[in-house]
Structure 1
Amino acid sequence: MWEDVSSGKGSMISPAVFKEFLSPYYRKICDFMKSKGVNIIFVDTDGDCNALIPLFLGTGVTGLYPMEVSAGMDIVKVRKRYPNLQIMGGIPKSDIAYGKKRIDEFLEPVEWMLKSGGFIPFGDHFIPPEVPWKEFRYYREELNSMIDKAGR
């Protein structure tokens, strides 16, 4: 599902409004999906959605993406607070352009996240066209190596 209810400065609606107006419909959709055998239910919500994570989980949503780093989403902190939340994303898309040192820095928590399970790493949105191929290739080779290692 797609629901951009957050921005770079936090939720665009209060938790109370989410509970009253959105939760009943999310619950209905999630219950229907689960009744049809769909047990993994992700919501795409950009921005800082920290305040809404427990509300999404309470409706039956099992995962969130893209975990926009520039909005303050920290995949390790989120994982520690919500160990059962499935997470996709969490890689700062624009930082790939800054070279190997920066790539190594932001990939550092990926190995731990992969071991914790329920995590698919990828850019926290579309990779911008200004990211040089050389850096993108290095990023993908390093990330693929981590994924392969975690799969053993």
Structure 2
Amino acid sequence: MPSGVEGMLTSRERALKALCIEEPDRVPMWEGWITNDPVYYEVVGKAPSSALQPEESMELQLSCYRKLNLDMSPVLGIGTPKGWKPKIIDERTYIGETGSVHRYSPESQQTFIIDYPVKSPEDAESYAYIDPSSEGRLDHVKIFVKLAQKYDMLTVVEVGGGLEYTIEQVASIQTLSLLMHRHPRLARKLIGMVVGFSIEIGKAAIDLGVDVIEISNDSGFRDGPMISPKLFHEFIAPTLKEQVEIFKAKGASAVIIHCDGNVYSILDDMVRSGADGWHAIEPQAGMDLRIVKERYGDRICLLGNVDVSHTLPFGTPEIVAREVKECIRAAAHGGGYFLGSSNSIHRGIPPMNVFTMFKAGLKYGRYSPSTF
């Protein structure tokens, strides 16, 4: 879809320039996920969650992202094998494909993992991860990429990083940490299986036409990293570098890493991976966008940072617009910045604040000699 304005870049062009740490015409915008149904109802009249067919759900997401003037869209998404069904324990609890136990909370409308398949060294020794090549796993990706062609946005598919997906699907952070200290071979085995799966999924997605690979690797709490910087450097950093190199060699337009929390002490390792971008730079965890830009802005594109814990859920539109302006001033100079939330647009955010954020991005994000 051409921009329709002489001198304006298309969304794809704008996003690619920013990922290359170049100044485009304006600051590009992106959200990893919008799970806020009222936003969809106001923008496109219906939410993907109410769609009866995957194609309709994808069209609603793409149309909403386009109307909000976003420049990249996440791919919906990596699926389970054809015919696979979870093992139901009760009306709220089931066993997922990797063997982890999930429980749905109607109060929060979210599903939480309450038990893991690996609890001991013996479990780790015998555990086998899921097959990336199972029939049907990428069916939705094929459909999404085809539908996305008319929307002029870069497509982004999420794969798992070594830490986040291991502790979400295989073993608790306590179990994995003990294995790292006492049975490092077994820790590497578990992490390696998860990373191997992610590599094969990412390569297949690139073959299907996906532009950008996002390695989701949450590694931080609000007061520091989930594991020590030493363990991160030893067990996780090499897997990030491996994934980035493989995806770029395969032809990905860019590779970005998603990581929440206070991760100053492991940020060097993430940047050294060679990733093109980092999302989401959590302000409530003490991550200062201006400091990150000063230290790393010439080496990695920064995505996000409008506070999703306080400003977007509870702030006035005026406060939201002011924070958008502050983010742009902190990180847009020289290129290499996408405006967005510090995680995702969740159900607790008023739609007006979402619209205010992106309208302010258009207003304050224009590049010119006197802008920043």
TM-score after normalising by structure 2: 0.38
Deviations 1:59-87 (A, max 9, x none): 22232111111111111110001122211
Q: Which amino acid aligns with 1:144?
A: L
* Superimposed CA distance per residue, residues 24-77 of structure 1 (whole angstroms, 9 cap, x where no aligned partner): 222222221222233622111111111111111222223211111111111111
C-alpha separation between the residues in 2 aligned to 1:32 and 1:128?
A: 32
**1:40-59 equivalences in 2 (<5 Å):** 40-59=254-273
Q: Which amino acid aligns with 2:324?
A: L
Distance 1:134 1:28 in 2: 41
1:11–1:48 contact (8 Å) kept in structure 2: yes
2:311 matches 1:95: yes
Query: How many pairs are equivalent?
Result: 151
Out of 325, 331, 346, the residue aligned to residue 108 of structure 1 is: 325
Change (3 A) 1:109 1:116: farther
Structure 1 residues 93-118: Cα deviation after superposition (integer angstroms, max 9, x where no partner)? 23123113322331232333223311
Closer, same or farther: CA 126–26 of 1 in aligned 2, 3 Å: closer
Is 2:314 the partner of 1:133? no
* Structure 1 gap segments, 5+ residues each: none
Amino acid at match of 1:124: S
RMSD of aligned residue pairs (Cα, Å) = 2.1
Structure richer in helix, relative to its length: 1
Distance 1:120 1:45 in 2: 15
Is the aligned partner of 1:70 residue 2:284?
Answer: yes
Q: Which amino acid aligns with 1:107?
A: V
- One-letter code aligned to 1:95: T
CA contact (8 A) 1:46 1:68 kept: yes
Aligned to 1:86: 301
Contact 1:8–1:47 under 8 Å retained in 2: yes
Find the partner of 1:21 among 235, 256, 259: 235
Distance 1:128 1:28 in 2: 32
Q: Distance in 2 between matches of 1:40 and 1:133?
A: 30
Q: 1:34 to 1:69 in 2, by over 3 A?
A: same
Aligned partner of residue 134 in structure 1, secondary structure: helix
Point out the structure with max Rg over C-alpha: 2
Percent identical? 20
Q: In the alignment, is the contact (CA less than 8 A) between 1:111 and 1:150 conserved in 2?
A: no
Runs of 4+ in 1 over 6 A off after TM superposition: none
Contact residue 15 and residue 55 of structure 1 kept, 8 A? no
Q: In 2, Cα distance between the equivalents of 1:17 and 1:38? A: 29
Contact 1:42 1:64 in 2 (8 A): yes
Distance 1:142 1:21 in 2: 41
Match of 2:266, SS? helix
Q: Please give the alpha-carbon distance, in whole angstroms, between the structure 1 residues aligned to 2:235 and 2:349.
A: 40
| Matched residue SS, 1:28 | helix
Structure 2 residue identity aligned to 1:86 = C
1:102-149 deviations in Å (ceiling 9; x for gaps): 2233123233322331111101122343433333332321122223x2
